[in-house]
């Protein structure tokens, strides 16, 4: 290790990365010894030798005016499953939930779903219209929105198709792919109610139709009660401006309801006497049942959970002994009140420890501090929300809905963890 040149740690990738891996390998050896309670036989050079970073100086301030994660974390990225869609412009990718902890999703790796690509629009170009059954059809600029009373809230945004590939059986291998069409952010925005009151909703107005500036427009109808309740016209997320791919400069937040309704690049809010029955609420985002009829207006995301680690992308390769089993739980109908975890495929359960105070319609983190005996496990998690709804098994859902729903698959996920700690997406019966 002593032959490292003094600038090696500054380089991304290449030789310095290789050196890092060597270091990591040595460190891993030490960790394995610690895990089994054994002593180190030889002194750890990371401790006994002076490391370059302990002697030379590091990067100056302003080296990266807006920082990215250190390059060692370059694999914690959104990933796409190409065969899912005809074209990456009208497509989706997945949040690396397996590699994150806590509940807030960093914007840079929060999943994207576009229907005609992410558009580039400045704040100066931004216009928002309210019309239809209102007393005063109005046009707002971005600056107008910034002068209105703001509120904040944390909310999860889950695509209705999250886990949709799993209706027929275990298919995609990884929590990112089975459950990664979700993110959870702290939003700042103007309540939709404030804008509607500014325009004055007429008595015959029952529905609010929202559409985007992009070519798809992605219009959706929202009942007036929901629009007046908790929707936000948001422009900040996690403390900074929205990212382009999430609707910069303005998107709609519809807490607890399917992600397709969270219209990005929000252009128009129109009050109607009826639902518009747009493409996104008839031909798509409707749930075909076994008998050939389809449910529509299935807005709420039912209670759901997943163990994010261990999972196929983050194996428990550390071997027997103490380990952390962790995951996420959420409900579009309120707060998570409890999460149970099973290690034998649902025969026996233990109650997980919930981190922090669960918030309504936001991701909740849970942990089980487990001492693993090294035998294979069938890991499952089961969420319970404040309505008393208990997350069902996939077979329970299939018994009600059949296999063709595509959307709203909130069934219990099973990971098989083998003796080596490697995990696989499986189903049990």
Partner 1 sequence: MSKCRNLIATTALATLLAAPGFAQELGLGRPALPEEIDAWDVAVLPDGTGLPVGSGDVYDGEEAWINNCAACHGDFAEGAGAWPVIAGGQGTLTNPRPVKTVGSYWPYLSTVFDYVHRSMPFGAAQILTYDETYAIVAYILYSNQIVEDDFVLSNENFTEVVMPNADGFIVDDRVETEFPLFVTEPCMSNCSDPVEISKRASDIAVTPPFPRLLLDGTVVEPGEMVEEASMDAGTATDAAPVEEAAAEPAAEEVQVASLDPALVEAGESAFRQCRSCHQVGDGARNGTGPMLNGVVGRASGAVEGFRYSPAFTEKAESGHVWTPESLDAFLENPSDYIPRNRMAFRGVRDADERAALIAYLTSHSN
Q: Which of residues 115-174 bind partner 1 (CB under 8 A)?
A: 115-117, 129-132, 134-140, 144, 147-148, 169-174
Burial of 265 (0-12, 13-18, 19+ CB in 10 A): buried
Q: Site for partner 1 (CB under 8 A): which residue of 99, 182, 377, 417?
A: 99
* Segment interacting with partner 1 (CB under 8 A) among 84-92, 231-239, 352-360, 361-369: 84-92
- Measured from the CB atom, is 185 or 341 closer to partner 1? 341
- Measured from the CB atom, is 85 or 152 closer to partner 1? 85
Positions in 203-262 near partner 1 (CB under 8 A): 209, 211, 215-217, 219
Report the alpha-carbon distance of residue 302 to residue 138 in Å, rounded: 36
* Least distance between partner 1 and beta carbon 157 (Å): 19
* Segment interacting with partner 1 (CB under 8 A) among 11-19, 38-46, 255-263, 366-374: 11-19
As a dihedral over the C-alpha atoms of residue 91, residue 263, residue 307, residue 300, rounded to 10 degrees, the angle is: -120
- Measured from the CB atom, is 172 or 227 closer to partner 1? 172
- Contact of 289 with 404, CB cutoff 8 Å: yes
Backbone angles phi, psi at 29, to 5 degrees: -60, -45
* Least distance between partner 1 and beta carbon 25 (Å): 3
- Measured from the CB atom, is 143 or 240 closer to partner 1? 143
Q: Site for partner 1 (CB under 8 A): which residue of 46, 68, 282, 374?
A: 282
Positions in 17-76 near partner 1 (CB under 8 A): 18, 21-22, 24-29, 31, 72, 75-76
* Least distance between partner 1 and beta carbon 156 (Å): 18
Closest CA to 265 of 128, 395, 158: 128
164 Cβ contact partners less than 8 Å away, ≥ 6 residues apart: 405, 406, 407, 409
* Least distance between partner 1 and beta carbon 103 (Å): 20
- Measured from the CB atom, is 51 or 90 closer to partner 1? 90
418 touching partner 1, by CB under 8 A: no
* Least distance between partner 1 and beta carbon 61 (Å): 25
- Contact of 381 with 306, CB cutoff 8 Å: yes
- Paired with 80 in beta bridges are 93
Q: What HEC string does 97-156 produce?
A: HHHCCCCCCCHHHCCCEECCCCCCCCCCCCEEEEEECECCCEEEEHHHHHCCCCEEEEEE
- Measured from the CB atom, is 91 or 107 closer to partner 1? 91
* Least distance between partner 1 and beta carbon 302 (Å): 7
- Measured from the CB atom, is 239 or 290 closer to partner 1? 290
* Least distance between partner 1 and beta carbon 29 (Å): 7
- Measured from the CB atom, is 169 or 374 closer to partner 1? 169
Q: Site for partner 1 (CB under 8 A): which residue of 98, 113, 220, 226?
A: 98
Burial state string for 332-348 with b = 16 or more CB within 10 A and e = fewer than 16: bebbbbbbbbbbebeee
Helix (H) or strand (E) holding 229: helix 224-229
Positions in 368-397 near partner 1 (CB under 8 A): 378, 382, 384, 387-392, 396
* Least distance between partner 1 and beta carbon 143 (Å): 9
5 touching partner 1, by CB under 8 A: no
- Using DSSP, state whether 245 is helix, strand or coil: helix
* Least distance between partner 1 and beta carbon 207 (Å): 10
* Segment interacting with partner 1 (CB under 8 A) among 50-58, 77-85, 152-160, 355-363: 77-85
* Least distance between partner 1 and beta carbon 210 (Å): 11
- Measured from the CB atom, is 86 or 371 closer to partner 1? 86
Termini Cα distance of the chain: 52
Tokens 């909703």 locate to: 201
Positions in 319-358 near partner 1 (CB under 8 A): 340, 344-350
Calculate ∠ Cα 406-410-411, nearest 5°.
Answer: 105
Report the alpha-carbon distance of residue 415 to residue 306 in Å, rounded: 10
Report the alpha-carbon distance of residue 38 to residue 27 in Å, rounded: 15
Positions in 287-316 near partner 1 (CB under 8 A): 288, 290-300, 302, 312-315
- Contact of 340 with 368, CB cutoff 8 Å: no
């Amino acid at each position: 290790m002593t032959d490292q040149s003094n600038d090696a740690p500054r380089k991304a990738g290449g030789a310095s990365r290789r050196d890092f891996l060597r270091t990591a390998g040595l460190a891993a050896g030490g960790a394995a010894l610690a895990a089994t309670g054994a002593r180190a036989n030889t002194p750890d050079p990371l401790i006994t030798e002076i490391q370059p970073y302990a002697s030379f100086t590091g990067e100056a301030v302003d080296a990266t005016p807006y920082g990215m994660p250190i390059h060692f974390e370059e694999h914690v990225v959104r990933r796409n499953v190409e065969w899912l869609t005809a074209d990456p412009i009208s497509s989706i990718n997945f949040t690396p939930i397996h590699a994150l902890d806590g509940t807030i999703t960093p914007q840079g790796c929060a999943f994207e779903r576009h229907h005609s690509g992410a558009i580039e629009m400045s704040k100066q170009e931004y216009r928002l219209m309210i019309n239809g059954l209102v007393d005063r059809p109005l046009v707002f600029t971005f600056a107008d929105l910034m002068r209105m009373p703001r509120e904040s809230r944390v909310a999860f945004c889950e695509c209705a198709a999250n886990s949709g590939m799993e209706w027929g059986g275990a298919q995609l291998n990884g929590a990112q792919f089975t459950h990664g069409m979700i993110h959870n952010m702290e939003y700042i925005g103007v309540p939709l109610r404030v804008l509607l009151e500014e325009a004055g909703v007429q008595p015959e107005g029952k529905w609010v139709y929202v559409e985007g500036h992009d070519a798809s427009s992605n219009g959706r109808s929202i009942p007036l009660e929901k629009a007046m309740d908790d929707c936000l016209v948001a422009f900040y997320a996690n403390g900074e401006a929205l990212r382009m791919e999430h609707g910069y400069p303005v998107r709609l937040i519809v807490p607890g309801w399917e992600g397709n309704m969270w219209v990005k690049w929000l252009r128009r809010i129109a009050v109607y006497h009826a639902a518009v029955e747009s493409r996104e609420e008839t031909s798509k985002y409707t749930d075909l049942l076994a008998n050939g009829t389809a449910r529509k207006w299935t807005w709420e995301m039912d209670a759901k959970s997943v163990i994010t680690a261990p999972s196929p992308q983050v194996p428990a390769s550390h071997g027997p002994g103490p380990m952390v089993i962790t995951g996420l739980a959420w409900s579009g109908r309120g707060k998570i009140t409890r999460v149970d975890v099973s290690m034998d495929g649902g025969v026996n359960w233990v109650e997980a420890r919930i981190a922090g105070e669960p918030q309504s319609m936001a991701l909740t983190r849970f942990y089980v501090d487990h001492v693993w005996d090294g035998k294979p496990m069938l890991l499952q998690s089961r969420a319970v929300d404040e309505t008393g709804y208990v997350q069902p098994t996939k077979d329970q859902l299939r018994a009600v809905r059949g296999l063709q729903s595509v959307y709203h698959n909130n069934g219990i996920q099973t990971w098989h963890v083998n003796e080596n700690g490697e995990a696989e997406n499986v189903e049990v019966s």
